[in-house]
Every structure is written in C-alpha cells, then in structure tokens.
C-alpha cells in the first residue's frame, strides 16, 4: 500500500476505524495532537460519525453537496435554520458543503504565484518539502478536478469535472469548511502572540525547541496516516 493510500485512509473518513461508542484506536494520539478545528464527512455511516464527533467539540460534522443555492462553500446560517425548521431534533445535523465552490476555491489557491521570500501571501498553500505524506499520489489527487467550458443557449458556462481518485482534495475541502465554521481568526492569534513576545513573555504551549516539536508532530501525523479511518483536521 502506498503512502498516499495509507494517509487517505486516515484523512478521508474517521468512521472506518471508529467503534459504535464513538471511540477510535487513535483517540489518545488525536488528543495529544490537540487539533484546533476540523471537519468530518457524514456522507457514509452517519450514526457512527455522529458518535465519533459527539465529544469532540472542535470537530464539525459535514455533508458534501454538488452545489448550494447561495454559491458559498458552507451553507449560511439563515438557510440552515430554514432547512432545519420544523424537523424533529435527533442529535447532530451536518453542515452542508458545496463541492463546486470547493473545487473553485482550492484550484484558485493552488494557482497563486509563489510569493517573495519573507512576504506573506493570503490564501497561498505551502507544503513542506521532504514529507513522505506529500508524495506524487497526494498531489495527483489534489489536482485531479478539471474545469470545462460548455456552451448553453449561446452562453459559455463553466463546469467542473470531479477527478478520481480525489481524496486529498476532499480532505482539503472539509478541513477548510471546518476551519471557517470554527470562526478562528489567525490574524488575531498572531497579534496576541506578537504582543506576548514583545512583552518578553513566552506562550506556555510553545516548546523551547520548535523545530523538534514540528518533527514530533509530523511523525505523529505520519503514524495516523498508516491507520484506517477518515477525517480532516487542522493543527494550530
């Protein structure tokens, strides 16, 4: 089994390894990583997904749709309340995620020019070099979706053709949706960190050797990549 296949078994859906009580063989490892936010697809075996996410408040339950009427990545709060109005509550209700907008947004990000050294670039995606998880199979999946132009009633319409396999894209889409639902403000966090540094303080969660900490986290993620399961999460 290739590295890409092992990784997507974990990153694509968590239900394969989750038990009916919502636990998973990697629960302790996931707790150690302490993700800030994440998304999990409930398109298959929804009850097991709900059980897995029940005690993980940072994890948002999602459901992919071909497109949304609002043409946004995530169903807006007003549409969601309207959709759920009058329905008997049975527990969790997944947030709807547009596959069409996901393909558009992620492809646009991947096509951004490489920024100059030391200059930040909003929405630019950086993948660290030398990571075994980011092999050619990963990027083939990430870029498998194709834009097509179709003429309908004398008008040119843009359509997207979903690639196969595209699990790496699915993981990115659900991670991005989970991040937006979390309402985390990276700029505010950065300002708070800089304020602490300027005051001569060091955040308690920052280890003395950051390079060592990054190596440990990456090893943990690679361990997760070798196990069955599927979810998408973001480490802050």
Helices (H), 25-160: 27-33, 46-53, 77-84, 99-110, 136-142
- Res 211: pLDDT: 43
Q: Which residue has the tokens 């998408």?
A: 232
The dihedral through the CA atoms of 200, 203, 207, 210 has a sign that is negative
What whole-number distance in Å separates Cα of residue 193 and Cα of residue 15?
36
Query: Would you say the pTM of this structure is higher than 0.85?
Result: no
pLDDT, averaged per 10 consecutive residues of the chain (236 residues), comes to 39 40 64 85 87 88 88 89 73 88 92 84 84 88 90 86 89 92 87 82 47 47 47 48
What whole-number distance in Å separates Cα of residue 28 and Cα of residue 219?
15
Rg from Cα positions in the chain: 19
- Res 68: pLDDT: 87
- Res 206: pLDDT: 47
The dihedral through the CA atoms of 114, 118, 122, 125 has a sign that is positive
- Res 91: pLDDT: 65
């Amino acid at each position: 089994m290739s590295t890409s296949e092992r990784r997507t078994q974990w990153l694509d859906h968590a239900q394969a390894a989750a038990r009916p009580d919502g636990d998973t063989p990697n629960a302790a490892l996931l707790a150690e990583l302490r993700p800030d936010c994440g998304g999990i697809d409930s398109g298959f075996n929804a009850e097991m997904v709900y059980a897995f996410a029940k005690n993980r408040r940072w994890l948002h339950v999602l459901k992919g749709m071909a497109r949304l009427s609002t043409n946004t990545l995530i169903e807006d709060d007003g549409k969601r309340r309207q959709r759920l109005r009058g329905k008997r509550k049975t527990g969790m209700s997944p947030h709807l995620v547009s596959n069409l907008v996901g393909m558009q947004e992620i492809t646009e990000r991947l096509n951004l020019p490489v920024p100059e050294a030391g200059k930040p670039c909003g929405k630019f995606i950086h993948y660290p070099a030398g990571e075994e998880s980011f092999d050619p199979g990963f990027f083939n999946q990430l870029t498998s979706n194709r834009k097509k132009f179709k003429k309908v009633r004398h008008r040119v319409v843009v359509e997207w053709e979903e690639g196969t396999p595209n699990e790496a894209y699915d993981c990115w889409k659900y991670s991005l949706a989970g991040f937006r639902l979390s309402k985390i403000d990276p700029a505010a966090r950065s300002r708070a960190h800089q304020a602490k540094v300027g005051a001569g303080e060091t955040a308690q969660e920052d280890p003395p050797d950051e390079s060592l900490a990054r190596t440990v986290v990456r090893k943990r993620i690679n361990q997760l990549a070798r196990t069955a399961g599927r979810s998408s999460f973001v480490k802050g």
